[in-house]
Amino acid sequence: MAERSGPFDGIRQLVERLNSQLEQAARSWDLEADTRSRLEESMGRSTSLDLADEGDAFVVTVDVPGYETDDIEIRLSGETLSIRGERERRTEHEADDGTFIRRERTVQSFSRHVTLPASVDADGVDATVNNGILTVRLPKREPTDESRSIQIE
């Protein structure tokens, strides 16, 4: 004789399917979070940047704690300022003798790009690092009223 189904069998099956799907989703979220953290490591962590207009110049301030001046590269291309930094974070008592099980602190880098709101005088750009803060002063280019004839080819 066939077994009779109970009034709650359908609900129990639905709950079991939901539990299975939630467990599968939680496993994929954990895997995705681990992959995302490895991607952030390979791309380098970002650093904070401020852009201020001080009338005659734009001033860019970037947090660069632990970076030396040789670790930082600054480029101005048109109205885009690019700042990159890369450093090794190895202390003197650390050795590469195979004692590490996991080592994540070997290289740290960042890369920031900011588009300036107006043209600047590239020859007058000044950059300093003081107490882990990079300050780049970019004097604005004086607008000129002089006109110039343009030949048509």
pLDDT for 59: 96
pTM of the predicted structure, to 2 decimals: 0.57
Establish how many alpha carbons lie within 13 A of residue 119's alpha carbon, considering only the half-sphere containing its beta carbon.
Answer: 6
Which of the four CATH numbers 1.10.10.10, 3.30.450.40, 2.60.40.790, 3.30.1490.70 does domain 44-90+107-139 have?
2.60.40.790
pLDDT in tens, the chain (153 residues): 556 677 778 888 888 888 888 888 777 766 555 544 444 443 445 688 999 999 999 999 999 888 888 999 999 998 899 999 988 765 544 555 667 777 666 677 888 899 999 989 988 999 999 999 999 999 998 766 665 666 666
